[in-house]
């Protein structure tokens, strides 16, 4: 497992923003497809051919979202959510393993949590004093 320094993780924020922009666009398209399928089903207007096409398109969009999320894994980070968009970076802080924690919209990396905690338990990364 790769351990990130604060600077290494923070340098990936622009890439993560691009990834989550693409994911949001695909998720919006997928929601439109899913809503269309639900409306037709609930309205009793099922058309097997149209349903098959829309299910196939929905599956394609889901696979595309998974592909974008895999890019985060390929960077060595751990995607933790899409709504909200969260990413953890394995790191070490004061000799212990932690996750540096980032949420879409944050322009800098300012939080961490222990490996057995989640986003709701994140804490500010302590300021380092010059040696």
For the cut 60, the answer to whether the pLDDT of residue 129 exceeds it is: no
- Token pair, residue 49, equals 């051919």
For the cut 70, the answer to whether the pLDDT of residue 130 exceeds it is: no
If we measure between CA atoms, which residue out of 105, 79, 104, 106 comes closest to residue 90?
79
Domain extent, residue 36, equals 6-124
If we measure between CA atoms, which residue out of 118, 23, 95 comes closest to residue 65?
23
Q: Does residue 131 belong to any structural domain of this protein?
A: no
Please state the pTM of the whole predicted model.
0.86
Q: Does residue 1 belong to any structural domain of this protein?
A: no
Q: Helix crossing, 13-42 with 48-74: angle to 10°? A: 160
State pLDDT tens for residues 114-126.
Answer: 999 988 999 999 8
Q: Does residue 10 belong to any structural domain of this protein?
A: yes
Q: Does residue 61 belong to any structural domain of this protein?
A: yes
Q: Does residue 86 belong to any structural domain of this protein?
A: yes
Domain count, the chain: 1
In angstroms, the CA 3 to CA 93 distance is: 10
For the cut 90, the answer to whether the pLDDT of residue 43 exceeds it is: no
What residue ranges in 1-131 does DSSP mark as E strands?
78-82, 85-93, 96-103, 111-114, 123-124
Q: Does residue 80 belong to any structural domain of this protein?
A: yes
């Amino acid at each position: 497992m790769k351990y990130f320094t604060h600077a290494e993780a923070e340098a990936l924020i622009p890439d993560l923003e691009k990834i989550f922009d693409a994911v949001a666009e695909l998720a919006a398209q997928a929601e439109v497809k899913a809503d269309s399928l639900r409306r037709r089903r609930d309205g009793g207007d099922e058309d097997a051919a149209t349903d098959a096409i829309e299910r196939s398109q929905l599956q394609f969009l889901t696979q595309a979202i998974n592909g974008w999320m895999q890019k985060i894994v390929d960077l060595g980070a751990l995607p933790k959510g899409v709504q909200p968009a969260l990413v953890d970076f394995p790191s070490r802080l004061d000799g212990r393993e932690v996750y540096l924690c980032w949420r879409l919209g944050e322009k800098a990396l300012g939080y961490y949590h222990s490996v057995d905690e989640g986003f709701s338990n994140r804490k500010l990364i302590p300021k380092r004093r010059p040696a």
